[in-house]
């Protein structure tokens, strides 16, 4: 049975990744809606906060015991049970009409937190050794991807709700009241909320995209490899034309990790402390951050030993290309004769 299960690691990984993303989405999806729970369910802000806190609390308490049961009775069996618990909690949350029912349903959802450790265990036990690292990295990346998509999806839902609410509000206004004035008043009232929704939507998408392209998936690895090859080609081309960063480039190469973290932290602080961020500001900050990260990679020059090896590799590739070009010219000459 073990050998039969190992023949389909791609399908198993897809199912596990979807389960993990669904769990993380439910964790962050309710965060922007917490203020609405207070008014819609006629409760206090403290009880509304338990919609999120109860999820995290039961997840922290139940995850370890279910993980131990998975070691004793089978990880696949306990994973199916955890997904069943998660489905029951999700349906219960959707049908809740009071804050008490909603908190209980969210606690039931959080009890499925063992989805992650059980998935990790299944990968370690059943996947080929060569694919374990990449598969574990992919599941770990679902934290960032799921959190970002959860924020983006919740903002999209709230934006649709505002649009529907605007239509309901305008249709309920008496005919004696100017419709244009009512629409202008509503738009002015929710203007700041709409701007915030758009900003958080873009930030969520940026987080999800960043988490994906820094993850271990094949597309992410190929993208990073292509960008790195392009930057290396530009650096080598410049060095062969006499343009070199020298000691500054070597220092940048040795401290590139700290420089990347510092650049991300700096732009995060700019975003947090700017007066009124909007979508354009978020896009501009992301573009500038990508340019700075690319500049760090371009300036970073490997030390002398690594540089010599890199130059030898560059010379070898160039020599191979020239030989291929000469061979093509000879064949063309023979063909013309």
Percentage of the chain exceeding pLDDT 70: 86
127: helix, coil or strand? Answer: coil
d(CA 42, CA 36): 10
Task: Give the mean pLDDT of 43-70.
Answer: 88
Report how far residue 78's alpha carbon sits from residue 145's, in angstroms, rounded to the nearest whole number. 25
Helices 115-126 and 45-73: crossing angle in degrees, nearest 10, is 30
> In terms of DSSP H, where are the helices of 114-178?
115-126, 129-171
pLDDT at 217 over 70: no
Domain ranges of the chain: 2-213, 218-301
Note whether 55 and 103 are within 8 A (CB): no
Least confident of 36-40, 48-52, 293-297: 36-40
Report whether 144 contacts 25 (CB < 8 A).
no
pLDDT tens digits, one per residue of 77-124: 999 999 999 999 999 988 888 889 999 999 999 988 888 889 888 888
What is the pLDDT at residue 333? 55
CA–CA distance, 231 with 227 (Å, rounded to integer): 6
What whole-number distance in Å separates Cα of residue 192 and Cα of residue 195?
Answer: 5
- How does pLDDT run across 239-273, given as a tens digit for each residue? 787 777 778 888 888 888 888 889 888 888 888 78
Span 132-189, pLDDT tens digits: 877 777 777 777 777 677 777 777 877 887 788 888 877 877 777 777 887 888 788 7
The whole-angstrom separation of Cα 253 and Cα 251 is 5
Question: Is it the case that residue 310 has pLDDT exceeding 80?
Answer: no
Residue 172 DSSP one-character state = T
Residue 3 pLDDT: 39
- What is the model's pLDDT at position 81? 92
Residue spans of alpha helices (H) in the chain: 2-6, 9-28, 34-40, 45-73, 75-94, 99-110, 115-126, 129-171, 179-213, 218-240, 246-254, 256-273, 279-299, 304-336
Task: Please check whether the domain covering 2-213 is classified as CATH 1.20.1250.20.
Answer: yes
């Amino acid at each position: 049975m073990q050998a039969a299960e190992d023949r389909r690691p791609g399908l198993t990984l897809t199912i596990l990744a979807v389960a993990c993303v669904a769990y993380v989405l439910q964790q962050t999806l309710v965060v922007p809606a917490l203020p609405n729970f207070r008014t819609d369910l006629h409760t206090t802000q403290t009880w509304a906060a338990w919609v999120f806190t109860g999820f995290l609390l039961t997840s922290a308490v139940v995850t370890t015991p279910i993980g131990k049961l998975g070691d004793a009775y089978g990880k696949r069996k306990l994973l199916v049970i955890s997904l069943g618990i998660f489905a029951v909690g999700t349906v219960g949350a959707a049908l809740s009409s009071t804050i008490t029912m909603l908190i209980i349903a969210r606690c039931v959802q959080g009890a499925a937190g063992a989805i992650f450790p059980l998935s990790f265990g299944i990968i370690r036990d059943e996947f080929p050794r060569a694919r374990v690292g990449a598969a574990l990295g992919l599941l770990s990346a679902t934290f960032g991807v799921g959190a970002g998509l959860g924020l983006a999806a919740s903002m999209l839902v709230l934006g649709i709700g505002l649009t529907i609410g605007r239509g309901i509000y305008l249709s309920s206004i008496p005919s004696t009241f100017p419709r244009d004035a009512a629409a202008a008043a509503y738009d002015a009232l929710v203007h700041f909320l709409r701007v915030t929704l758009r900003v958080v939507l873009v930030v969520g998408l940026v987080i999800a995209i960043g988490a994906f392209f820094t993850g271990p998936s094949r597309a992410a690895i190929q993208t990073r490899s292509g960008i790195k090859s392009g930057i290396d080609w530009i650096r080598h081309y410049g060095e062969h034309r006499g343009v070199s960063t020298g000691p500054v480039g070597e220092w940048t190469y040795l401290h590139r990790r700290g420089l990347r973290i510092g650049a991300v932290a700096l732009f995060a602080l700019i975003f947090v402390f700017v007066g009124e961020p909007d979508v354009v500001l978020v896009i501009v900050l992301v573009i500038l951050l990508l340019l700075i990260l690319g500049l760090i990679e371009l300036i970073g020059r490997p030390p002398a030993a690594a540089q010599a090896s890199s130059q030898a590799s560059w010379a070898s590739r160039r020599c191979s290309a020239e030989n291929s070009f000469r061979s093509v010219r000879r064949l063309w000459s023979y063909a013309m004769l």
